Structure 1
Amino acid sequence: LRIACSGSHIFLSLCHVVATSKFFPVTLTSNYCYNRFTHRRISHSLTLVVITRRRQRISSTIEFNVGMPTTPVPPAPAQPTQDVSVPCQLSALNYDVYLVVDTSAAISSGDFLQMKQMLVDFVNPFVIGDGKTQFALVATAIDSELYGTGFHNQQDRTNVINTINTLTQDDSTGQTLKLSLQAIENNFLSKNYSTSNKVIVYVTGTTSWDTDPVQTMKQLAQKYGAKPVAVQWTSGASTSSLTSLTGGSACVNPFSSRASSATWLQTKMCRSFCM
């Protein structure tokens, strides 16, 4: 029997000879660790030692943790469920989604925060990643800015949502939508990813474009099969201009229905487009 102390711990080792022979002595050692103040056993291990005929020492130890605090492993977050009104299973879709978001000062700061939450709600029910749905993010104001979301590069939901939440507003009121569409073509569409379904989601509070983007949008639809839809986030955006941009009023969610924008966009993803 051996006893040792270290801090608040007491260590005991008790050796048992469990079998002996001329060539193969076998011993079993029990090792205990106790709290010297509470006398509570913290751990226990067993060590089996065999000495072979060639004087080789072979040992094996089994450890048992008793009463040790453990860090619980949180369950994986559940896949967010979709609204029952959406007519297709979003988790089964395979889309490239190009989010074009108005970051101009045409939208109030409060409306801008609500818009970002709407985009998060829109994205949430999809299974995101290779072979499923992926999201690119473009901010449009006086200039256009591509945000890194890991598009076709090990993208996941956390990456997309965190990037949406980093969006900030410009202090300008104009918009360079045509430039944003050209950036989407040059950086994404022209790479000819294997994803067959493509949609451009435009959320805006203004249609004060520096250059008319309608023809550019039509070209993207014809050349790449990219289907446009638009959300009129504030009444400052012209419904008629958005209708021309998307190919029909059925592809524009009006300001009066803003509260249901996320569900409306998800429903459009069930292949209900105007171009």
Structure 2
Amino acid sequence: MGSQPEPLPTPATPSGRDGLAAILAQPKKAVVAIDFDGTLAEIVADPEQARAHPDAVPALAALAPHVASVAVITGRPAGVAVRYGGFAGVPGLEHLVVLGHYGAERWDAVTGTVHTPAPHPGVAAARAELPGFLESHGAWRGTWVEEKGQAVAVHTRRARDPQAAFEALRDPLGELATRHGLVLEPGRMVLELRPPGMDKGVALTAYLREVGAESVLYAGDDLGDLPAFAAVEKLRSDGMPGLLVAADTVISDLAERADLTLSGPESVTAFLTALAARLQPEGDAVPQPGGEAARRSAPGA
């Protein structure tokens, strides 16, 4: 006899328990959608050094064959998330979809190609203005500008006082974004200027319609995930069961709305592995992650 799979943590809300039950009952009609940074990958000072947790790809590969679809939804360019995640050419992930730039870009594992819209002219204009803009606001030292193709982001994590720099720049960068026809997306010590009309909620809702999903799990950790949470809440009010997972408690608005709160990428990947094991035909083994983070992180586990 094989070893018993890790038990699944129990969602704290009735809606979350209904969502998990629907996924377990009919997994082939369920979509599992997951943020990248802070959810599958640890938050690091230099975003270019972020990589998926070692257990993330095995967990997704074990889960994907048993559900309608697995999608990674991220603010990063889709191709960057694929490289940093190590998602390409992985057995089990042949149909993975990565929705980058909040859904404006799309990478499909089945073709290995990225579909990218024409860049918004305001992004180039804002990018050109940023060096002098940051200097004039006394925020150049310690801040870092990330080029994202379809967007541009200002990171304050390396500043002497990251939170103070973030707060000082939030309104001025919002005005800069508006002047160039962009929107400002705040995150964890990062302020991103990007084109309007797309967010993770819009991307998730459109993708669920595309695949004909009847239930959904969404996991995220940052302010940019709030629109996806709102989309799932709206879908639940319309009758689609859904489970909302907060990858940690750093963003209180997210944690308070979550059905299940975990404690970082190790905990998330352990939860996904446990979910895959529950969906696995009897007798088939699912590789287990090293830690017990998912089991420890929620009541009822």
Which of the five TM-score ranges fits, normalised by the shorter chain? 0.3 to 0.5
Structure exhibiting the larger radius of gyration computed from Cα positions: 1
| Higher helix fraction (1 or 2) | 2
| Higher strand fraction (1 or 2) | 1
Larger relative contact order (C-alpha < 8 A, sep ≥ 6)?
2
TM-score w.r.t. structure 1 length? Answer: 0.42
TM-score w.r.t. structure 2 length? Answer: 0.39
